[in-house]
């Protein structure tokens, strides 16, 4: 009679131990799921920061005072502007897609997470291409930019008759660049035919008598100079009336900028191209590596999507 209660007490104790063990397992599982959730959110946040950085760099290189929007009109390289636009578009898209991924993690939505993975892969490819274009632009900068700038001055600068609005924009851009970088023409020094002398020798602005007797624009002159003398409206025995070459026994026009603008812009353009290319490639690699890490984590636990709210 006394053995039966002992057996019942033993069974009760065993059942209680099983319950405690089950509760402990469920608690550990729940803690693991919460840890997984926060790890995924942290990775998403890291991608969001990278996306915002990409967007900001695209805006900066496009809209800065002498960014791709202005410079591309001078050098005739649309790729330089397209590169910045791709960065802006990809960065903005990545921000939206990353927010979608965060919602997918918080709501445990498998479809959103899958769509997020596909979008991130496509955006990463776009950003990588933008970076690749940035480095291509640098490698081809000298071979294409000089000719494009020469054509721009020769055919478009100051030729604003017949309502050619695009030439007005090109003229304003050239004036702004020449004034602020203290340069004149395309490339070369005082004795070059492609620096300050390109206007009087080749430009339709002078040949078609649209310059009001000036041989160089006022933007090629120091703002404190006598503009009539500096631009050649008043004849002298020095530049811009004489030369190139500029002879040593001739009057020197110290108020005329004689260095070509490509020579002044080259370092600036290269820095912007390197900034775009490096930032884009690093961001693309980071997004791919991060996404390839957190999506396997999502499916590491088969019950992740059934996590208790």
The answer to whether position 116 is within a domain reads yes
The answer to whether position 264 is within a domain reads no
Q: 252 and 287: one domain?
A: no
Nearest to 196 by CA among 130, 127, 266, 245: 245
Q: 211 and 65: one domain?
A: no
256 DSSP β-pair partners: 221
Q: 54 and 116: one domain?
A: yes
The answer to whether position 157 is within a domain reads no
Q: Which long-range contacts (CB under 8 A, 24 or more apart) does 57-60 make?
A: 57/87, 57/91, 57/275, 57/276, 57/279, 58/84, 58/85, 58/86, 58/87, 58/88, 58/89, 58/90, 58/91, 58/276, 59/88
Q: 102 and 192: one domain?
A: no
Count the neighbouring beta carbons within 10 Å of the beta carbon of residue 112: 17
Q: 233 and 276: one domain?
A: no
221 DSSP β-pair partners: 256
Number of domains in the chain: 2
Q: 55 and 194: one domain?
A: no
pLDDT tens for the chain, residues 1 to 309: 444 555 555 454 545 454 455 555 566 556 666 777 777 778 888 888 888 888 888 888 777 766 676 677 666 556 667 777 888 888 898 889 888 888 887 887 778 777 878 888 888 888 888 788 777 777 777 777 788 889 989 998 988 766 556 788 888 889 988 998 899 999 998 889 999 999 999 999 999 888 898 999 999 999 988 899 899 898 888 788 887 877 665 556 678 999 999 888 888 778 877 887 888 888 888 887 776 666 555 555 444 445 444
Q: 250 and 289: one domain?
A: no
Q: 43 and 136: one domain?
A: yes
Nearest to 73 by CA among 139, 143, 169: 169
Q: 80 and 55: one domain?
A: yes
Q: How many residues does the chain have?
A: 309
Q: 97 and 190: one domain?
A: no
Angle at 261 between CA 242 and CA 220, to 5 degrees: 50
Q: Distances from the Cα of 172 to the Cαs of 158, 227, 260, in angstroms?
A: 9, 18, 17
Q: What pTM was estimated for this model as a whole?
A: 0.68
Q: 247 and 273: one domain?
A: no
The answer to whether position 235 is within a domain reads yes
State the residue range of the domain holding 300: 30-141+269-306
The answer to whether position 13 is within a domain reads no
The answer to whether position 153 is within a domain reads no
Q: For 219-235, b where at least 16 C-beta lie within 10 A, e where not — what string? A: bbbeeeeeeebbbbbee
């Amino acid at each position: 009679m006394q053995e039966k209660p002992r057996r019942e007490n033993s069974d009760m104790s065993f059942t209680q131990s099983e319950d405690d063990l089950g509760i402990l397992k469920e608690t550990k599982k729940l803690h693991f799921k919460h840890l997984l959730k926060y790890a995924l959110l942290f990775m998403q946040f890291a991608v969001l920061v990278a996306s915002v950085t990409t967007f900001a760099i695209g805006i900066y290189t496009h809209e800065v005072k002498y960014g791709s929007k202005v410079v591309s009109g001078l050098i005739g390289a649309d790729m330089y502007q397209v590169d910045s636009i791709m960065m802006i578009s990809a960065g903005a898209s990545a921000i939206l897609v990353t927010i979608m991924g965060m919602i997918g993690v918080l709501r445990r939505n498998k479809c959103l997470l899958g769509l997020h993975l596909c979008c991130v892969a496509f955006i990463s490819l776009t950003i990588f291409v933008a970076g690749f274009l940035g480095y291509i632009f640098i490698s081809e900068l000298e071979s294409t930019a000089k000719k494009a700038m020469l054509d721009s001055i020769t055919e478009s600068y100051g030729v604003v008759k017949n309502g050619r609005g695009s030439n007005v924009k090109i003229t304003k851009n050239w004036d702004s660049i020449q004034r602020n970088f203290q340069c004149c023409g395309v490339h070369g020094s005082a004795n070059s035919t492609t620096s300050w002398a390109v206007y009087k020798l080749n430009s339709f602005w002078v040949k078609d008598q649209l310059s009001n007797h000036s041989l160089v624009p006022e933007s090629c002159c120091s703002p404190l100079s006598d503009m009539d003398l500096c631009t050649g409206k008043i004849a002298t025995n020095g530049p811009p009336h004489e030369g190139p070459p500029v002879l040593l026994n001739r009057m020197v026009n110290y108020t005329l900028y004689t260095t070509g603008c490509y020579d002044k812009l080259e370092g600036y353009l290269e820095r912007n191209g390197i900034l775009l290319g490096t930032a884009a490639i690093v961001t693309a690699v980071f997004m791919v590596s991060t996404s390839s890490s957190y999506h396997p984590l999502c499916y590491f636990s088969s019950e992740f999507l059934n996590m208790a709210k």
